[in-house]
Amino acid sequence: MTIELKEDIAYILLKKMGDRPEAERGQPLDLEATDFVGRNTDKTEIMAHLDYLNQKGYINADFKGDAYADEGPNPLPDAVSVKSVELTPSGQDLLKKMSENPPKEMRSGPSTQVASKDMDFLNKVMLKGHIGDIYDARDITEVVFRTMRDLMTTEATRNVAEGLHTAATHTEKKSAQEEVADLWKDSNPLVRFLSKVRPPLNFDDETFLFRVKQEGGLPKSTGPNTVVKAVFGATKDELSSERIAEIAEFMPGKIRTLWEEA
């Protein structure tokens, strides 16, 4: 397959491999959408770059299945992976040279740092959750928040509300111009009232994900684990370590793991 080699994509891939701990070398390489923010790339192109680096002897890669298969509508899935990959000595030399003189595309414009605390809340959810519409990001966030609150005490939910006073996003779509604290409290007055008076519910991680999937109206480009982790990550950026630890205590099973990893 002929591709136009992009130095910034090649550099990101090499650096991801070079930054891994010794124990992880030769293992599958997991690449997140946030690794390629602003790079105008897709899965096919990323896999083609890996194949190119492999053919040129810069990496040793064992691909899983068809490296160029079109597996769905999402151009940046949760992870692009191969069975195993590691830098060769030639690849280490190339990475060193590129690190000393990074591609010009990495010196200006969007980079992985765009997906940081400086981004507006719903933009982070859109990016990390692979959601293409700001309204969907808002609605999904509200469902995740609602499900979180159902597991928490009234005092804990109040503590979180006090910590969430940041803009949801800057957009011309006025219904998305909200404070995150407002999303946390819920736009539905009845739900908001019940959150204040009812005791915490008790349900497991699978029920948590099922509710998000059923109530969130997720687009085909993503899944419940992905959007939950996206909302979690954006939320943690706005909270103190005390609030983060407090929320973790209420989350069940792998939901707590997603919270801690986000």
Q: What string of DSSP letters covers 58-94?
A: SEEEE--S-TT----S-SS-S-B--SEEEE-HHHHHH
Domain 7-108 has CATH 1.50.10.10: no
> What is the residue-level pLDDT of the chain in tens, covering all 262 positions?
445 678 888 888 998 888 888 777 777 777 776 677 666 777 778 888 888 888 889 999 887 654 444 444 333 334 445 778 889 999 999 888 888 777 766 554 433 333 334 357 888 888 888 887 888 888 999 999 999 999 999 999 989 988 886 655 554 444 444 578 888 887 777 776 777 777 889 999 999 999 999 999 898 878 899 999 999 999 998 889 999 999 999 999 999 999 999 8
Q: How far apart are CA 130 and CA 77, in angstroms?
A: 8
Give CA–CA dist 35/67, Å, rounded: 19
- CB-CB contact of 146 with 191 (8 Å): yes
Closest CA relative to residue 13, chosen from 104, 81, 113, 75:
81
pTM of the model: 0.55
**The CATH number of 121-261 is which of 1.10.3720.10, 1.10.490.110, 3.40.1280.10, 3.40.47.10?**
1.10.490.110
Residue 105: predicted pLDDT: 61
Tokens of 84: 């195993």
Q: CB-based burial of residue 211 (10 Å sphere; 0-12 exposed, 13-18 middle, 19+ buried)?
A: middle
Distances (CA, A) of 146 to 2, 42, 91, 182: 48, 33, 47, 12
Looking at residue 244, what is its pLDDT?
Answer: 94
**What is the bridge-based pairing of β-strands 59-62 and 84-87?**
antiparallel
The full set of domain ranges for the chain reads: 7-108, 121-261
